[in-house]
Amino acid sequence: MGSLNLKKPEAGVINLLRVKYLEAQNDEKGLLELAAIGFESRLIELYNLFQRGEISFEHLAEILKINVWEADNLLEVRGLKSTNL
Amino acid sequence: MKLIMDTNALITGCKFSTEGDHLIKSIIKVCHIIIPSTVKGEAIVAKDIYRDAKVVSDLIESGKIQVAQSTIPEMNFLNDYNLGKGEKEAICLYLEKKDNINYLITDDRLTYIVCDRMQISKLFFLDLVIELVKQGKFEHKFAEKVINEVSSRYSRGMISHSFVILKGVLSNGKS
């Protein structure tokens, strides 16, 4: 896999979330919302790299751990193009 | 004409229709299409949710799209580019079959650049449509409809330039 300087969460943040995750077993919605915010943020970061031609469309999907059809749909519902031409 | 298609170009072909047929089906009538096995796997997983994935999956099942396995060599420089597995497989597949393949079709800028550096014969989807007009396999008017249909996927420059090239093909009397 090519090298990418994607923002990485601080180790302390991961540890804090791990604790909160264990504490919040009954608050699945809250955790999902938190994960979704992180996902959205990473999606936009990767989309910008994709639009600059620094990563391919499939690579964007792979980093997000979704398949290309899901990636295409996610971009389409946000009014974003899934080509960079 | 024999083509290898990567996912992004395949999505363009499956998402849009002209004259009642998905574009991919119009292309299959005049071309032999091969896709990497990774692309097949993803289409099959997604076919119950996404209509365009179902189109691909049905064409694979009916044998109208051929699926081929390819191996990406370890330590290959391709792994240092930020390409996806299917795109790398498409490139390796082309190299394995290059004597028997006319073009690799991609709608991804990075994939196109890598292909260019590797001297791979490649076309964007829009240029495939124009090439089919040049070869007399698509009517000029049909190609115009196709370009208009898919225009939301491309920048204005790509679309207006495609019309200019297409007009040149017409004035050269090739269609």
Which residue of B lies nearest to A72 if distances are taken between CA atoms? B11
pLDDT tens, B117-170? 999 999 999 999 999 999 999 999 999 999 999 999 999 999 999 999 999 988
Q: CB B85 to CB A82 under 8 A?
A: no
CATH number listed for the domain at residues B2-123: 3.40.50.1010
The closest of B115, B144, B150 to B11, measured between CA atoms, is B150
Question: Between B6, B53, B113, which is nearest A69 by CB?
Answer: B53
pLDDT tens, B39-67? 888 888 888 999 999 999 999 999 999 99
Domain ranges of chain B: 2-123
B/e letters for B30-39, b = 16+ CB within 10 Å, e = fewer, are ebebbbbebb
Q: What is the ipTM of this complex?
A: 0.90
Query: Which tokens hold the place of B144?
Result: 């115009």
Q: What predicted TM-score, i.e. pTM, was given to this entire model? A: 0.89
Q: Which residues of B touch A (CB under 8 A)?
A: 6-8, 11-12, 39, 42-43, 45-46, 49-50, 52-53, 79-87, 107-111, 113, 124, 152-155, 158
**Chain A residues whose beta carbon lies within 8 Å of the beta carbon of residue B155:** 85
